Amino acid sequence: MKKILTSLFLSAAMAIGTIPAHAEDGDPIRYAIWSNPKGTFHPTLYFTDYDRAVIFSVFSRLVTLDEKQNPQPSLAESWDYSEDGRTLTLHLRKGVKWHDGQPFTAEDVAYTYQAEAAPDFPRDRPPFVKYLEGFEDYSTGKADSLPGIQVVDDVTVAFTFKAPYAAAFAHFADKPVLAKHIWDKIPLKTWNEASEALRNPVGTGPYKFVEFKPDQYVRLERNDDYFGGQPRTKTIIFRISNTQTAQSELINGELDIAEISSWNERDLQTYRDAGLRIVEQRGTSGQYLPFDTRNPKLSDKRVRQAIIHAINRQAIVDRLLFGHGAVFNTNAHPDSPYYPAGLDPYAYDPQKARELLAEAGWKDSDGDGILDRDGQKFVFTLNYPTGNRTRELSAPIIQQNLKAVGIETELVSADFNTTLAILQDPERSFDGVLMGGTFRPGIYDNNFWWERFTSPDLTGYADAFNSSVYPGVLRENIGAWLKGVNDEAIRVWLYIPNQGYVLGPKVTDYESHPYEPFAGIQNWAVSR
């Protein structure tokens, strides 16, 4: 067991390397984000990648991920497992301080993850806490303590699971640690309403929060006491920009770093001609069209399968991403070691789509080109957010594709947070919503809140793969689960855009990699 666990999790004897002392580099670094953050700068409550960018710069995590998705030390310097693989003990870094000067201890770690299991936790529970010893009694209020999390001493904390749990490190890498001395004063059930605390985060990360000007920017300042060494640049500004103006802002020196929003070769050449550097990586975020599977029009999986067949996903990659992306077919990145062979590829096939729709009872009975059933036309409302140009341009392509198989599609656009609210409200019905999300390495679960979907069969697979750390068992069970998701067609898996960044000519020592875009933020600098 120990050998297997060591091979899976590296047993972490490594420490973070010392970061060079501040070298009076240019200031500030201005990093473009495409939409206004929601202002939920909280490690366990955030929803959007725009909030996540701020959170991952302000807060520290127990572990980070390397380029092969292995956990690396951060707040946790090392770790070990018990003989039965059920208890994971983390040994924490000494001398770490919160941005307000208070000491970081194991109490903060225990508090952060125990809150996710508490009865009043104001968000969907992550799968992680459901596998902790004593979760059921604690989450329902029958017990006042959670035996699955134990503080051993100020720098040691232990997590005990009902069975060996493979995804613990994935959760630690995804959810930073919050400050108990701040959040313990706020009733848990009101966390989402604690605007003052949410918008003034206090972390242990390389940068301190200074201010958030909605629709303008988020300003961070260097944490001189950062445990990894003093960051090189004093100020980081996450500037809210848009894909239409970012190119000129980069060329004019108003921005220093921005994600690539267009892979058009003409745009790339414009950057090169201006002396800007382009960094391209494998994408880590998928673009989706989630279905409300409770919706009577979409409850038959044949209809959902038909819609996937009707959409020319490869054409979207070729036309909008200029080939800089990939199509995928289930709830995992194709680079995942558990991504199975033999998935239905849902090739673009309008005739197959028409056949499946006919089997489900949808036919054009009056010859007007629109399918109907029981006197109702098949009208599909497609909601999509503004802010991501490629996603915006994909909406009319999808509309055209669906029209070709007899589905009338109405397009409705709104800002990102308004569109996200459709999915966040479990009582609200919808047809489809264009949305994107970052893959979380090592996390596979049945929390289908986007799709309003449940399945006993898929839940069974999840219980199996979350109860083992053996690679062979994981590969078999996760693969079977991913095939089941593929067959149920709970969403349209549209495309994975390659990840790219444009760097201003004076940006130095930039480093990032898939899943850790801010891995080296403390080393970034500009010379002005």
Model-level pTM? 0.75
CA distances from 387 to 241, 391, 404, 417 (A): 9, 8, 28, 11
CATH of domain 2-18+43-52+60-192: 3.90.76.10
pLDDT tens per residue, range 182-225? 999 999 999 999 999 999 999 999 999 999 999 999 999 999 99
Query: Pairing state of beta strands 71-73 and 149-153?
Result: unpaired
**Is the distance from CB of 406 to CB of 373 less than 8 angstroms?**
no
Tokens of 271: 């950057």
Which strands sit side by side in the sheet containing 217-222, from one edge to the other? 207-213, 217-222, 235-240, 29-33, 257-259, 499-503, 277-281
**Is the distance from CB of 259 to CB of 500 less than 8 angstroms?**
yes
pLDDT band at 462 (very low <50, low <70, confident <90, very high): low
pLDDT > 90 in the chain, percent: 76
pLDDT band at 15 (very low <50, low <70, confident <90, very high): very low
Residue 462, C-beta contacts closer than 8 angstroms, at least 6 positions apart? 127, 444, 445, 446, 481
Q: Is the pLDDT of residue 18 over 80?
A: no
Q: Is the pLDDT of residue 7 over 50?
A: no
Residue 124, C-beta contacts closer than 8 angstroms, at least 6 positions apart? 447, 449
Residue 471, C-beta contacts closer than 8 angstroms, at least 6 positions apart? 4, 8, 337
CA distances from 352 to 85, 193, 310, 320, 349 (A): 48, 48, 8, 25, 5
Q: Is the pLDDT of residue 353 over 90?
A: yes
Cα angle: 58, vertex 190, 63; to 5 degrees: 30
Residue 318, C-beta contacts closer than 8 angstroms, at least 6 positions apart? none
Q: Is the pLDDT of residue 19 over 50?
A: no
Best CA proximity match to 132, nearest among 119, 113, 151, 107: 113
What average pLDDT is seen over the chain? 90
pLDDT band at 25 (very low <50, low <70, confident <90, very high): low
pLDDT band at 100 (very low <50, low <70, confident <90, very high): very high
Mean pLDDT of 4-25: 38
Best CA proximity match to 59, nearest among 77, 78, 43: 43
pLDDT tens per residue, range 27-66? 899 999 988 999 999 999 998 889 999 999 999 999 998 8
Domain 285-497 indexed as CATH 3.10.105.10:
yes
Distance between CA 312 and CA 463 in Å, rounded? 35
pLDDT band at 467 (very low <50, low <70, confident <90, very high): low
pLDDT band at 447 (very low <50, low <70, confident <90, very high): confident
Higher pLDDT, 193 or 463: 193
pLDDT band at 478 (very low <50, low <70, confident <90, very high): confident
pLDDT of residue 165: 86
Q: Where are the beta strands (DSSP E) in 333-479?
A: 372-373, 376-377, 379-385, 408-414, 432-433, 435-438
Task: Choose the weakest-confidence range: 3-7, 107-111, 357-361.
Answer: 3-7
Domain ranges of the chain: 2-18+43-52+60-192, 285-497
Best CA proximity match to 416, nearest among 449, 383, 454, 459: 383
